[in-house]
Amino acid sequence: MSDPVILASQQNDDSFDDVWEELNWRGLVHVSTDTAALKELLAGEPITFYCGFDPTAPSLHLGNLVQLLTMRRIQLAGHHPLGLVGGSTGLIGDPRPTAERTLNTKETVAEWVGRLQGQVSRFLSAEGGNAVRLVNNLDWTAGLSAIDFLRDVGKHYRVGTMLKKDAVASRLNSDAGISYTEFSYQILQGYDFLELFRQYGCVLQTGGSDQWGNLTSGTDLIHRVEGASAHAIGTPLITNSDGTKFGKSEGNAIWLDADMCSPYRFYQFWLNTDDQDVVSRLKVFTFLTRAEIDDLAAQVEAEPFRRAAQKRLALEVTTLVHGAEATAAVIAASEALFGKGDLAALDAATLRSALEELPNVEVGAGATVVQTLVDTGLVASLGEARRAIGQGGVSIDGVRVDDEGAVVTGALPGKVSVLRRGKKTLAGVFVAG
């Protein structure tokens, strides 16, 4: 469920004339249908809009968060959001540019639908006259026969146009090719928009710009079948200033589920944002005003070493995703690890997740500090470990080690210890038993 306190604190920036203007300032409109019509539509009477999320994993990730926050901004402007989790499209898989997806079982997809619905509902208000409504496209496709689908929907699509879609074109030019299953995905997504138009009067879909072919599949289908206009907004793909894909770290996505990406790791991800990227991240991922972001941008320019913008970004987004209590815990852990707090006062789960982000090792009861220094990679040899202790450069759990025979006790919550060499070189030790 959503946190009512967090949702109540969110509002659009009233320094903008309308939400369309704010979306553009925040860099959230990369491509769209008619801009003048969209501006008028979003500034007028409440409309119904939607964004779809396919259950191809048990959690949403940062790319999905861009869409959720875009939806929230539009909801705050008075419009009615539909959060679609694709129980049927998740069985098919949106074609990737490189290779065919592995199809998950129906049971797995059904389980993930429930998990993603829970996540979507956390970021959109379920209160008031424009409360979010969760929908599942399996509801209108499960009973649809292949013959009916081909006659009633497929006849409106032209293969030549479908072949031009970016993902399809990329796959056709690859050795892997593309299956008919994934080739048909854009028809299914277009049909979703048509059904939502018919059931709820939905006239706008948002999504990533890499989905543009799928987004316009729906607007085109509505125009052909119903003779009506519908719109689409494609947000930019978020990349780092060096051109690398945002939200990836050594092949690991930054998930919104705390079990898949700990709040500590999540916080550190934002804290490590490059100076060149931090202002754009503040615009996209926070509800800070234009004036507040401009002030933080000035601080980045004048005193980048203070990292004020990164600290505020990490605070805002971690609170948004994991709540104020978890965020306070990870900030306390971060400070305590570097000597600005009491390690023993930290909760075991947060401390353990923090140590998992450091070089770490599991040891048995009675393991010596000398050996553990080597096992964690803080020193290269036993001799170097003894010299480091002799020079007073080693501490465990914040206490300097003077005895070469000292052992690791795992005295901190959760039977762990923090091993330090020098001022800033740390390692985590998990004591078994």
- Domain CATH for 43: 3.40.50.620
Q: What is the model's pLDDT at position 250?
A: 52
Q: Does some domain include residue 375?
A: yes
Do 297 and 392 sit in the same domain of this protein? no
Do 8 and 148 sit in the same domain of this protein? yes
Domain closes at, from 196, 219, 237: 237
Q: Does some domain include residue 353?
A: no
Q: Does some domain include residue 337?
A: yes
**Segments forming the whole domain that contains residue 343:** 239-347
The overall average pLDDT reported for the chain is 94
Q: What is the model's pLDDT at position 253?
A: 84
Q: What is the model's pLDDT at position 170?
A: 82
Domain count along the chain? 3
Q: In CATH, what number is assigned to the domain containing residue 332?
A: 1.10.240.10
Distance from CA of residue 296 to its chain's centroid? 23
Domain closes at, from 315, 347, 379: 347
Residue 37 has pLDDT above 60, yes or no: yes
Domain closes at, from 192, 212, 237: 237
Do 308 and 206 sit in the same domain of this protein? no
Q: Does some domain include residue 352?
A: no
Of residues 181 and 298, more confidently modeled: 298
* pLDDT tens for each residue of 80-133: 999 999 999 999 888 877 778 888 999 999 999 999 999 999 999 999 999 999
86: left (phi over 0), alpha (psi -120 to 50) or beta: beta
Do 331 and 363 sit in the same domain of this protein? no
Do 80 and 184 sit in the same domain of this protein? yes
Do 88 and 215 sit in the same domain of this protein? yes
Q: What is the model's pLDDT at position 9?
A: 94
Do 79 and 158 sit in the same domain of this protein? yes
Q: What is the model's pLDDT at position 75?
A: 98
Q: What is the model's pLDDT at position 239?
A: 87
Name the residue among 370, 363, 378, 368 with its Cα closest to residue 422.
Answer: 378
Residue 197 has pLDDT above 70, yes or no: yes
Q: Does some domain include residue 334?
A: yes
Do 68 and 197 sit in the same domain of this protein? yes
Q: What is the model's pLDDT at position 244?
A: 81
What span, in angstroms and rounded, lies between the C-alpha atoms of 347 and 330? 10
Do 69 and 193 sit in the same domain of this protein? yes
385, 420 in Cβ contact below 8 A? Answer: no
User: Considering the chain, what percentage of its residues have pLDDT values greater than 70?
Assistant: 98
- On whether the pTM is more than 0.85, the answer is yes
Token pair recorded at residue 144: 């649809």
